[in-house]
């Protein structure tokens, strides 16, 4: 019998790559029907590249500083992803804004993870902003990428409390644990063909209903 098709992922990362690692691990243990065919970074020496090499995954380095035009940088990325037969582009701490030609090359096939409960707190340093705003909850969001900054249709979110003595580091660490749970899950929902975008909303076939309500501080 032939192997069932595995969704071919291209992961783009600029940093340490802990989200990449969670996807590598879930591909390896069979909880997602996908394989990472390429890890691409714009940062020489990025931890994500080391993690990929250790896992035997092909890597590419496309340094944005060697391009004068943003569109040329994006074109180079698209060509590299296409040459690897990438079907789903997974942004995992990729710290560059991507342009329309990139998005058009992978329609509804680019996803991102963001360490806040979108649509609140798009952009950078969002854990700090959530604390400073006095929010009682923070979290993370996996969403499809459209032309805006952290604006595309939302696939899945996880919520964590903000505690009294939190600083940016402690809250970021609490959120990151949840990022590592929801990103592989979002990829599996796509791999299983369970997602459909309807305007701003993502419909999930046969989704379980969420139970439990969190109140912070607790009611008693």
Residues that bind ligand GRF (CB under 6 A): 13, 15-19, 92-93, 113-115, 176, 179
> 85 vs 119, which CB is nearer to ligand GRF?
119
d(CA 150, CA 119): 8
**Distances 169 to 68, 87, 115, 195, 209 between C-alpha atoms, Å:** 34, 34, 12, 33, 32
114 flagged as catalytic: yes
Taking CB positions, which residue lies at the least distance from ligand GRF? 93
Q: From CA 151, how far away is CA 145, in angstroms rounded?
A: 7
Task: Give me the residues paired with residue 161 across strands.
Answer: 137
Shortest Å distance, C-beta 52 to ligand GRF: 12
**Closer CB to ligand GRF, 53 or 203, in the complex:** 53
Least distance between ligand GRF and beta carbon 5 (Å): 26
Nearer Cβ to ligand GRF, position 109 or 174?
174
Helix ranges (DSSP H) in the chain: 18-28, 47-54, 70-83, 100-105, 126-132, 168-191
Task: Give the active site residue among 5, 114, 125, 143.
Answer: 114
Smaller CB separation from ligand GRF, 7 or 23: 23
List the beta bridge partners of residue 137: 161
Cα–Cα distance measured from residue 16 to residue 9, given in angstroms and rounded to the nearest whole number: 18
Closest separation in Å from C-beta 143 to ligand GRF: 11
For the CB of residue 22, give the shortest distance to ligand GRF in the complex, in Å. 8
- Cite the active site residues: 114
């Amino acid at each position: 019998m032939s192997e069932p098709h595995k969704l071919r992922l291209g992961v783009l990362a600029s940093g340490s790559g802990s989200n990449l690692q969670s996807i590598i691990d879930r591909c390896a243990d069979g909880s997602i029907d996908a394989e990472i065919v390429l890890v691409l970074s714009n940062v020489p020496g990025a931890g994500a590249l080391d993690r990929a090499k250790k896992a035997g995954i092909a890597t590419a380095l496309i340094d944005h500083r060697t391009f004068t035009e943003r569109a040329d940088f994006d074109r180079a990325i698209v060509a590299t992803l296409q040459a690897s037969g990438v079907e789903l582009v997974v942004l995992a701490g990729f710290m560059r804004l991507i342009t329309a030609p990139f998005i058009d090359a992978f329609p509804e096939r680019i996803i991102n993870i963001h360490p806040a409960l979108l649509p609140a707190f798009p952009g950078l340093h969002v854990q700090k902003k959530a604390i400073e705003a006095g929010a009682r909850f923070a979290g993370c969001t996996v969403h499809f990428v459209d032309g805006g900054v952290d604006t595309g249709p939302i696939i899945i979110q996880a919520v964590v409390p903000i505690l009294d003595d939190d600083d940016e580091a402690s809250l970021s660490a609490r959120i990151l644990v949840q990022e590592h749970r929801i990103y592989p899950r979002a990829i599996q929902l796509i791999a299983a063909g369970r997602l459909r975008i309807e305007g701003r909303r993502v419909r999930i076939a046969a989704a379980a209903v969420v139970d439990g309500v969190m109140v912070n501080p607790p009611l008693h």
